[in-house]
Amino acid sequence: MQTKLCTLAALALTASPVLAAGVNNTLFLNHFDSPIAGGAGPADYANGDPAEQIGLPLGPGGTVSATNPKFGAASLDRSTGGRVEYNTAGNFDASKGTIEMWVRGSGVTGGGFVGLWGTDTGSGSGDIRMYIYDTGAGRTLGAYMNQGLSGTFWEIEQPIPLANLDSTNWHHVAWTYDTTAGTTATYWDGTQIRNTPDAGTVNPHPITNTLMHIGENQAGSATFPGFIDEFRISDNIRYTGNFTPPTAPFAVPEPASLATVTLAGLAMIRRRRSV
């Protein structure tokens, strides 16, 4: 009987977990630490599908570079082209969340309009995006949701402090939104740069059968010429007001079901040994 119990516990400890939504409030996380098949490869953690979708003719899905990453062994290099896209379903919550990443390179200080993150339905019926834009009077950080061509869109865009603009250092970028409360905020290097009240009607785009692009906007437009590291999507509001940017890589969350099974297995072994 003791052998059987121990065997069951061992199986419980090694069983493949069933992922729950928003483990530690994380839906999607990619460290971009190693290349796979010439591209960025599967995400380190994904509540939905973690597999990279290689989009022609811009494949092979971006380049992973070991040159001066923010954390870990490497970062995503979008200066050399290549599309990096993942399934949005299960990896993004249109009602509430935080999207954040570290960015570095000429896309921070250069001209024009460059995308940091965006969705693509393949039909042009609307999208969600984050971007940096040169207004002629300075660089701005923007976030945008569009319900569709027949709907209304919602957008915030605020200047990035000049003192925080350079192409050589890493900069932490974050966007929080809550469609129920109708609130939103953008952050640069831990500073809330939205300098007007962060309230308004958010029109989330339906995310069924949608892809998200990292380092560009919808359908591969406005590619970010630079590097991206520690890309994370959460289903909660992680920041309110100014904060200290992360000082270490984001942890890959342990699925709740695995933690529960592990504890149950250990407890079973301990109970058996105590009798």
Q: Which residue has the tokens 């609130």?
A: 183
Q: Where are the beta strands (DSSP E) in 148-270?
A: 153-159, 171-178, 183-188, 191-192, 211-214, 227-234
What DSSP character marks residue 193? Answer: -
Number of structural domains (the chain) is 1
Using 70 as the pLDDT threshold, list the residues of the chain that sit under it.
Answer: 1-22, 37-38, 54-61, 81, 121-126, 147-152, 195-201, 203-209, 219-220, 254-275
Residue 14 covered by a domain: no
pLDDT at 109: 93
Q: What is the pLDDT of residue 142?
A: 93
pLDDT on residue 194: 81
Q: Is residue 146 part of a domain?
A: yes
Is the residue at 155 inside a domain?
yes
Q: What is the predicted pLDDT for the residue at 111?
A: 85
Predicted local confidence at residue 121, as pLDDT = 63
Q: At 40, which CATH number?
A: 2.60.120.200
With both helix axes pointing from N to C terminus, report the angle between 2-14 and 256-274 in degrees, rounded to the nearest 10: 160
User: Looking at the domain assignment, is residue 102 inside a domain?
Assistant: yes
Whole-number pLDDT of residue 12 = 32
Would you say residue 66 lies in a domain? yes
163: alpha, beta or left? (left if phi > 0; alpha if psi -120 to 50): alpha
Cα–Cα distance measured from residue 17 to residue 34, given in angstroms and rounded to the nearest whole number: 24
Does 15 map to a domain?
no
Cα–Cα distance for residue pair 271/168, rounded to 1 Å: 57
Query: Per the domain annotation, does 7 fall within a domain?
Result: no
Looking at residue 68, what is its pLDDT?
Answer: 94
- What does the alpha-carbon distance between residue 116 and residue 103 come to, in Å, rounded to a whole number? 9
- Domain assignment of residue 64, given as a range: 23-270
Q: Would you say residue 76 lies in a domain?
A: yes
pTM over 0.85: no
